[in-house]
Structure 1
Amino acid sequence: MRLFGKYLLILFKSQMQYRTSFWLLTFGQFFIPFSVFAGLYFMFERFGQIKGWDFFEVALCFGVIHMAFAISECMARGFDMFSSLVANGDFDRLLVRPRSTVLQVLGSKFEFTRFGRLLQSALVLAWAISQIHVEWTFLKALTLLFMIVSGVFIFTGIFILMATMCFWTIQGLEVANIFTDGGREMAQYPLNIYQKWVARFFTYVIPFGCVNYLPLLYLLGRTEGSSALYALTPLAGCIFILPCLLIWRFGVRHYRSTGS
């Protein structure tokens, strides 16, 4: 962690060399999801609710998933930009260093400007929490925290899978954005508003449902059966990253270098 902290310090100093650009990018990142949230607000202003969900319940879902995506995009940006390391042969240098390749790729890129997006989602989340009618307990607060952590692990795992493809395709595949940008847009609503096969896929394969839907039912007191199981579902998102790391190790072992 000390080494990772040094990576962050170096990257922060480099990005602050152009402070005007840094603050303008941060300001822009604040308003990008704001426009999406405005569309969400006007939709509920017109229709009132969606399949039994009111505005602030969906806003809670929105805040959680966008905050998780912002944190993951900050920390895992190195995996998102990994194709350039493979194409330029720079990944070879990472292999001869006595540290984990995962740590080095994480430290190769960190987008501090994404804090604007993080701040916006945090404001939405705080507003939603203040407006919904929930009797907050320590376990519910812990569940909400793990919802965000679980989302971070899921998005980071997807970024790792996208990067692993580059060992065979050299360039990143745009189809993978279906599960990052597309997953973020889809998961900002409770999953039960979609077709059943969509909800099942994003619960049992890519477990976004364990971030934004099942634990949300627990927070709102709408569970059927044992509520403890609903509270524990965010752990599935944390577990999701483990097979992603195994696939990454498989890809590293089969990496053949650039030949240069």
Structure 2
Amino acid sequence: MLSLYFKYVAMLFKSQVQYRASFWLMAVGQALTPLTVFAGLYFMFERFGHLKDWSFFEVALCYGIIGVSYSLSEALVRGFDMFSILVVSGDFDRLLVRPRSTVLQVLGSKFEFARLGRLVQSIVIFIWSLNNLPIEFTVMKSVTLTLMIVCGLLIFSGIFIAAAALCFWTVQGLEIVNVFTDGGREMAKYPLNIYEKWVTLFFTFIIPFSCVNYMPLLYILGKTNGNDILYMLTPLAGMIFFAPCMLLWHIGVRHYRSTGS
């Protein structure tokens, strides 16, 4: 399955670099556009100095982690984000008659390499903020950082997959999902304790962004008040969130009725 997926990716890459100037301009644009948001963050700290008890580089680290997770998800799971097109056109019927997983085929139907420009920008901010923080790195902190990124990727991917699954009943994609993808991305770039309590509770127990940025970040920065192991393990909530999203997808596939297009 991995071999087939990489063949999909290779074909998509060849098709997207046919017009190289367009490809590189889009990649650069994807890298520069989010900088306007980061510039706003920088100027806010220049004016006020701190955000509650958070310094600029602590928030920048939070920004970088979520940026990397979202960028990876947007590139890798783009097929699910555009899935409604397959349902409306009836092209999903072709995927069903092929002897391969529908998940694999939808993943391989779309991969936007230009989106990796956003990933580069997020990685630069991530590394820059780490270099400017007095963090004493250990193996466990390195593992925790990795889990934060991977499980953040799973949360965003889970939302894309759940939204795609809803297309089996709604046909068209629902714009409200952007509240949890784009809105969730912007919200999660900041520590959750700056928001109202109901926002913190929602993004901890319903969509667990808090578990992949705020709580493990407290451990990374040495700000915990309790058992460090619990803070280290909170990113695993991303895996728990991803499971029912995949289940919803498989239920949707079983209930799919062709549009007849």
TM-score normalised per structure 1: 0.99
Query: Take 2:150 and 2:33, find their aligned partners in 1: how far apart are those partners?
Result: 22
Query: Take 1:163 and 1:47, find their aligned partners in 2: how far apart are those partners?
Result: 41
The alpha-carbon deviation at position 169 of structure 1 amounts to 1.1
Which residue in the other structure is 2:198 paired with? 197
Which residue in the other structure is 2:173 paired with? 172
8 Å contact kept, 1:149–1:238: no
Query: Take 2:45 and 2:25, find their aligned partners in 1: how far apart are those partners?
Result: 31
8 Å contact kept, 1:15–1:22: yes
Instruction: Percent identity, please.
Output: 65
Q: Deviations over 1:205-226 (max 9, x none)?
A: 1000011100000001111111
8 Å contact kept, 1:68–1:152: yes
Query: Take 2:54 and 2:170, find their aligned partners in 1: how far apart are those partners?
Result: 42
Query: Take 1:76 and 1:259, find their aligned partners in 2: how far apart are those partners?
Result: 26
Q: Secondary structure at the match of 1:17?
A: coil
Q: Secondary structure at the match of 2:33?
A: helix
Q: Secondary structure at the match of 2:18?
A: helix
The alpha-carbon deviation at position 140 of structure 1 amounts to 0.3
Residue 4 of structure 1 pairs with residue 5 of structure 2: yes
Residue 34 of structure 1 pairs with residue 25 of structure 2: no
Which residue in the other structure is 1:62 paired with? 63
Task: Read off the aligned partner of 1:227 and give its amino acid letter.
Answer: D
Task: Read off the aligned partner of 1:106 and give its amino acid letter.
Answer: L
The alpha-carbon deviation at position 259 of structure 1 amounts to 2.7
Query: Take 2:239 and 2:23, find their aligned partners in 1: how far apart are those partners?
Result: 32
Which residue in the other structure is 2:145 paired with? 144
Which range is displaced more, 237-246 or 3-12?
Answer: 237-246
Which residue in the other structure is 1:128 paired with? 129
Q: How does 1:94-105 map to 2 (within 5 A)?
A: 94-105=95-106
Query: Take 1:238 and 1:134, find their aligned partners in 2: how far apart are those partners?
Result: 27
TM-score normalised per structure 2: 0.98
Query: Take 2:234 and 2:99, find their aligned partners in 1: how far apart are those partners?
Result: 36
The alpha-carbon deviation at position 152 of structure 1 amounts to 0.4
Q: Secondary structure at the match of 1:233?
A: helix
Task: Read off the aligned partner of 2:63 and give its amino acid letter.
Answer: F
Q: Secondary structure at the match of 1:108?
A: coil
Q: Deviations over 1:179-231 (max 9, x none)?
A: 00000000000001001110011011100001110000000111111101100
Q: Deviations over 1:138-180 (max 9, x none)?
A: 1101101110101100000000011011111111111100000
Query: Take 1:204 and 1:221, find their aligned partners in 2: how far apart are those partners?
Result: 24
Task: Read off the aligned partner of 2:39 and give its amino acid letter.
Answer: A
The alpha-carbon deviation at position 240 of structure 1 amounts to 1.3
Query: Take 2:112 and 2:18, find their aligned partners in 1: how far apart are those partners?
Result: 14
How many residue pairs get matched?
260
Which residue in the other structure is 2:75 paired with? 74
Query: Take 2:143 and 2:259, find their aligned partners in 1: how far apart are those partners?
Result: 46
The alpha-carbon deviation at position 12 of structure 1 amounts to 0.2
Which residue in the other structure is 2:158 paired with? 157
Query: Take 2:205 and 2:8, find their aligned partners in 1: how far apart are those partners?
Result: 35
Task: Read off the aligned partner of 1:131 and give its amino acid letter.
Answer: N
